[in-house]
Structure 1
Amino acid sequence: MVPDIDVEPYLEAVVETARDVLGAGFVGAYAAGSLALDAFQPGRSDIDIAVLCRDQLSEAAKRELIARLRHGALPCPARGLELVVYTVAAARSGTPEPGFELELNDGAAMPFRQTLHPADRPAADGTFWYGLDRSILHQSGRVLAGPPASEAFADLAADDLRSLLVDSLHWWMALPGPTDDRPTAGAEDAVLGACRALVRYRYGEWLSKVDAGRQLLSTGYQPVEVIEQSIAARSGEPSPSSRQARAFQNGVLKDISTS
């Protein structure tokens, strides 16, 4: 069993570090992802944080912020930290483009990655994440410092949301992996991620992956057994197979693309 962890001191330390590095340019900080959607799971979840700055950052400021927030400098108590910094203008733009100043991924169970400019991010890694994350922040961002998240982050236009959801499904479906009917670790995330995309598209609300699966079960969405198995896998039960996950994603993709 993975013990519960207290992430609050870490969140406070990240905010304090960002304030120190950015000075008067610091505007706010927000917990995103599972922390925003009340679905943080010790041992499984990342700590997702978005920081807002007043103006574009210098190269020196970017590198100092990264150096001070690396896992070796400020140990992350979760799987890892996923930090993205935006200017106020980018956060409020509602653009589907990445638009970030920098991103940092690092942790005990997460490979180190730093990206100082959106153009430096490999296209194969997907650029849809940022617009979708800002949409989640607009709805549910947890304020660590700064103005309300609904004011700090603009939501996506309907056509842009649909386009990014479709892009995300194509990306997930293109990942390499087995194609047989054996239980496949991670297939549950593919299924539940597709559930979350469909719930946001159909019902206009971001939910956690598990809650989105439950929402679709309540509407009779098929195949029920794949959703149920994916939810159970979050508690240690066997995952669905990659073949089941791929078929489910294909169904959701069709529903979003043609409805």
Structure 2
Amino acid sequence: MDSDVRRYLDELVGRARAVLGDDLVGAYAAGSVGLGAYQPGRSDVDVALVVVRPVAGPVKRTLVDRLRHEALPCPARGLELVVYRRDVAGSGTPEPGFEVELNTGATMPFRATWDPADRPAADGRFWYALDRSILRQSGLALLGPPAADVFADPGPEDLRRLLVEALRWWLALPTPPGDAPAPGAEDAVLGACRALVRCRDGVWLGKVDAGRRLAADDPDGGLIRRSIAARRGGPPPAGPEARAFQQRVLERIAATH
């Protein structure tokens, strides 16, 4: 793990314990850090905190104040932090189910969401159960028991539906017209690769690792390899070809039973 990220996570956990006290029973690095795919300058730091009981409103606000970028500078693009009750984390629910969510960073728009009902449907409600599934497999325990003992996967049908919803959300994003390289299209392609690998092989991989696995024998291997190269500074694929690939992956996952 990047040494700056390690120090940051240590300080974050210390501050969270100071606010939440004995109610904090676990802290876990998720996303690219947990999957061993963290890329300095590009990746976010994803953290899940697990608590015993519901968090009161004033405590939520204190936690956000202590952890937002202005109070604790994030060395990555930004911090995406979610707090769950332990019963929710272990339930396998497909619902968001969080206590509070914080997005903050030097290049990330600030957002604090105090209740799942406040989460705009247009921003996607599928992220949380998918993130908890990744945490179950690969969450890095910063505090508390192993992540596999705390988090649960959604059921197979819920997981497939959530992956389809995620792909539809990506497809609804605007893309530049024409065949010019479209910044961000590489992440759309590789995110679709990760979804397909999870559905097909039952394992979560980092985006680049998922792309490598598929590129070996997929008809779209050339597009996937160009998307991997774009993560290292090469030109991204064009928007239309990325969208066409996402649509094909969506159809493959939707047809899975």
| TM-score w.r.t. length of structure 2 | 0.98
The structure 1 residue matched to 2:247, chosen from 240, 246, 250, is 250
| Counterpart for residue 39 of structure 1 | 37
| Counterpart for residue 83 of structure 1 | 81
SS in structure 2 at match of 1:84: strand
User: Which residue identity does 2:121 align to in structure 1?
Assistant: A
CA contact 2:100–2:115 (8 Å) conserved in 1: yes
| CA displacement at 1:89 relative to structure 2 | 0.5
| Counterpart for residue 185 of structure 1 | 183
CA contact 1:5–1:42 (8 Å) conserved in 2: no
The structure 2 residue matched to 1:222, chosen from 219, 222, 229, is 219
User: Which residue identity does 2:165 align to in structure 1?
Assistant: D
CA contact 1:97–1:127 (8 Å) conserved in 2: yes
In the alignment, the residues of structure 2 paired with residue 122 and residue 155 of structure 1 have an alpha-carbon distance, to the nearest angstrom, of 24
In the alignment, the residues of structure 1 paired with residue 3 and residue 178 of structure 2 have an alpha-carbon distance, to the nearest angstrom, of 36
| Counterpart for residue 70 of structure 1 | 68
SS in structure 2 at match of 1:249: helix
Alignment of 1:231-242 (within 5 A): 231-242=228-239
| Counterpart for residue 58 of structure 1 | 56
| CA displacement at 1:162 relative to structure 2 | 0.0
In the alignment, the residues of structure 2 paired with residue 190 and residue 77 of structure 1 have an alpha-carbon distance, to the nearest angstrom, of 24
CA contact 2:215–2:222 (8 Å) conserved in 1: no
Q: Deviations over 1:171-202 (max 9, x none)?
A: 00000121311111000000000000000000
| CA displacement at 1:221 relative to structure 2 | 1.1
In the alignment, the residues of structure 1 paired with residue 174 and residue 12 of structure 2 have an alpha-carbon distance, to the nearest angstrom, of 34
In the alignment, the residues of structure 1 paired with residue 75 and residue 189 of structure 2 have an alpha-carbon distance, to the nearest angstrom, of 27
In the alignment, the residues of structure 2 paired with residue 172 and residue 217 of structure 1 have an alpha-carbon distance, to the nearest angstrom, of 21
Q: Deviations over 1:140-178 (max 9, x none)?
A: 000000011001101111001000000000000000121
User: Which residue identity does 2:229 align to in structure 1?
Assistant: A
CA contact 1:29–1:145 (8 Å) conserved in 2: yes
In the alignment, the residues of structure 2 paired with residue 222 and residue 52 of structure 1 have an alpha-carbon distance, to the nearest angstrom, of 42
Gaps (5+ residues) in structure 1? none
Q: Identity of paired residues, percent?
A: 62
| Counterpart for residue 173 of structure 1 | 171
| CA displacement at 1:5 relative to structure 2 | 5.8
SS in structure 2 at match of 1:30: strand
| Counterpart for residue 12 of structure 1 | 10
The structure 2 residue matched to 1:95, chosen from 93, 96, 100, is 93
| Counterpart for residue 200 of structure 2 | 202
What RMSD over aligned residues (CA atoms) do the two structures have, in Å? 0.8
In the alignment, the residues of structure 1 paired with residue 221 and residue 137 of structure 2 have an alpha-carbon distance, to the nearest angstrom, of 28
| Counterpart for residue 113 of structure 1 | 111
1:211 aligns with 2:209: yes
In the alignment, the residues of structure 2 paired with residue 187 and residue 207 of structure 1 have an alpha-carbon distance, to the nearest angstrom, of 19
| Counterpart for residue 26 of structure 1 | 24
In the alignment, the residues of structure 1 paired with residue 35 and residue 57 of structure 2 have an alpha-carbon distance, to the nearest angstrom, of 32
CA contact 1:30–1:142 (8 Å) conserved in 2: yes
| CA displacement at 1:54 relative to structure 2 | 0.5
CA contact 1:66–1:104 (8 Å) conserved in 2: yes
CA contact 1:15–1:29 (8 Å) conserved in 2: yes
Q: Deviations over 1:99-139 (max 9, x none)?
A: 00000000001010000000001000000000000000000
In the alignment, the residues of structure 1 paired with residue 36 and residue 219 of structure 2 have an alpha-carbon distance, to the nearest angstrom, of 26
